[in-house]
Amino acid sequence: MAEEVTFEDLFRQAKHSAVHLEMRDGYMRSDPSFVSWQRDPDSVLSDWDPKSRPWLALMQEITGRGVEVRRARVFSEPMSDYLRFEHFLTPGNVAAGEQVRWLPRRRASGLALPGNDFWLFDDSLVVFLHFTGEGELSPEGDEERTTESSAVSLCSTAFESVWQRAVPHEEYRRA
């Protein structure tokens, strides 16, 4: 039996790109960093440091070898508390090599978007992410992987459409 490829392995195996479309107004509200940030935003400043945040170290590693990582967020305005938290932490993502853009939901009307958030690796593998209504990872399985050409095409087109309309993190000002 073949060993399962982990989510982290997918980034390490990426040859040229990993793109992520986020379309929820909140995720993992039980995250201790989010809870702490709600009490005191300065309490999570260390979350900008790759030494304390493994995600940033991974992004530095893969972008450092030339893989382009882009993240686009479709969101409601005014931003939810959770999205304000993500906005607060995004400079760390950008410093680690991610490109991040923001698209207010009212500017996404007319775009064909899949029903779930996803990562698309090298324009060939889609990993759909599943969450509960409260934004926690789904207990029925938090991801679904496919190489089906219609899903890959839908996700690639959706991401690029959002990316074209979205505002780079450095230029976006919260309403």
| Residue extents of the structural domains in the chain | 7-168
> What is the fold, at CATH topology level, of the domain defined by 7-168?
Endonuclease; Chain A (3.30.870)
Positive or negative: CA dihedral 162, 163, 167, 168: positive
Tell me, yes or no, if the pTM score tops 0.75. Answer: yes
Q: How confident is the model at residue 42 (pLDDT cuts 50, 70, 90)?
A: confident
Helical (H) or strand (E) element with 162:
helix 149-165
With vertex at residue 113, the alpha carbon angle to CA 80 and CA 18, rounded to the nearest 5 degrees, is: 85
CB 68 within 8 A of CB 21: no
Question: What's the pLDDT at 3?
Answer: 67
117 strand-pairing partners = 129
* Residues 71, 102: Cα–Cα separation, whole Å: 9
pLDDT tens digits, one per residue of 85-141 = 999 999 999 999 999 999 999 999 999 999 999 999 999 999 999 999 888 888 887
For residues 152 and 142, the model is more confident at: 152
Helix H or strand E encompassing 73: strand 68-75
> pLDDT at position 44, please?
80
Per-residue pLDDT at 1 exceeds 60: no
Those residues with Cβ within 8 angstroms of residue 137's Cβ, 6 or more apart along the chain or in another chain: 28, 129, 130, 131
Structure tokens at 58: 């991974």
Question: What's the average model confidence in pLDDT over 13-40?
Answer: 93
